[in-house]
Amino acid sequence: MGQANQFGLALQPVDEDGKTQQKVAADAADVFLPLTDGSLGPTIATLEHVAMEGDRFPQRQKRGGRQFGGPANGGFRPLSTGVILAMLLGEPTTTTLQAGVYQHVFNPKTAGKHPMPATAWTIQNDIYEESGDTADKLVDEYIGTMVNEMAWNVEGNNYLLFTSALQALRNLEDVAAPVSTLDQTDLWSFDEVGMEIAVPTAPGGSTYGAYTPFEIYSWGFSYSNNLQGGDRFPVGSKEAVRLRPSNVESTIDMTVAQDLQEQHRKAISDYPDLVRVRLSAIGKQIYEGTTDLFESLTATFMGVEYRTGERPLTAADVWEDLEVSAGVVKDGSGGYLTITLVNTHDGSYYHAPEPA
């Protein structure tokens, strides 16, 4: 999609019992995300039936079920980040820190939390058409849109970015383009991001020392809901029944800039101690007081298990970094991860609306 195009999202309403509804569309888009690229579209099955008809030429075949999916990639922004995180992890716990400043804590292990379906709108505009004719917009509405996979990444001289893979249940074509708010909040840049690490106070222990700053050249984090059901169609319908989250898979990849020998030994240990890792992005100030508050995004990983630590050995290069791959696992208390977003939005975009 080009710069003139648009991508909107809104969480779908719950029913009277508070249950999610994957096939009930949101009334309107809450926010437009200024993505770098995003595209939802169909994968359509073809029903193959080859019969003996007396010649060797193909016959017409019918179409089967449709799967809808595609990427949505961009940079993290304080307003719209909460919508994507609710789709990935479930609704947050929202509290007021100060007048007009809110904290949203996303924890996928909290009882009752699960990935939330949303309605997505993709709008492609003909920027050369001056008449304003709505026929010059290509608008699609995707119902039951969920985040299958999401990855974060940040490196020097860049922003804190994400890539994601979406899936949806249903498509409505040629609908009216929604009117919505474009997220124009500032991206977090690499110099506003920092990593901290906490190590066990004793080998195999359940207590950890304080978080201390840790230098990295790059950081990557992936989280997969392993959605199931998008390619299964009931008899009598070309539409999937629902999308079901399956087992979570999550990894961290980072280029370490300090304590290279120690980090390498952790990676090749037979049974390495878990470490805790915290990545924080701190943006502009939004409250001044006894405790100043800033637009921030903080991801805390309770159990990080080193798995590989690649160290090149060549005559041309000195050893100045270590490529570490790790798995995110439950710690001894069952904790997994939390993501905390602080901004000036009251959180209504991040919670499913109640039925009218």
- Looking at residue 267, its pLDDT comes to 57
In the chain, what's the furthest Cα-to-Cα distance?
A: 87
Cβ neighbour number for residue 320 with a 10 Å cutoff: 10
- Looking at residue 33, its pLDDT comes to 94
Number of domains in the chain: 1
CA 216 to CA 256: how far, in whole Å? 5
Q: Is residue 59 domain-resident?
A: no
Q: Is residue 235 domain-resident?
A: yes
CA 69 to CA 64: how far, in whole Å? 16
Domain range holding 276?
6-42+64-350
Q: Are 147 and 224 in contact (CB under 8 A)?
A: no
Q: Is residue 24 domain-resident?
A: yes
Kindly tell me the sign of the dihedral angle through the C-alpha atoms of 100, 35, 21, 244: negative
Q: Is residue 104 domain-resident?
A: yes
Q: Is residue 48 domain-resident?
A: no
Q: What is the pTM of this model?
A: 0.91
Instruction: List pLDDT tens digits, range 115-127.
Output: 999 999 998 887 6
Q: Tell me the pLDDT of the chain averaged across its residues.
A: 89
Q: Is residue 52 domain-resident?
A: no
- Looking at residue 1, its pLDDT comes to 44
Nearest to 18 by CA among 88, 90, 106: 90
Above 80 in pLDDT, residue 198? Answer: yes
Q: Is residue 204 domain-resident?
A: yes
Q: Are 136 and 43 in contact (CB under 8 A)?
A: no
Strands 137-155 and 118-125: antiparallel
- Looking at residue 325, its pLDDT comes to 85
- Looking at residue 320, its pLDDT comes to 75
Q: Is residue 85 domain-resident?
A: yes
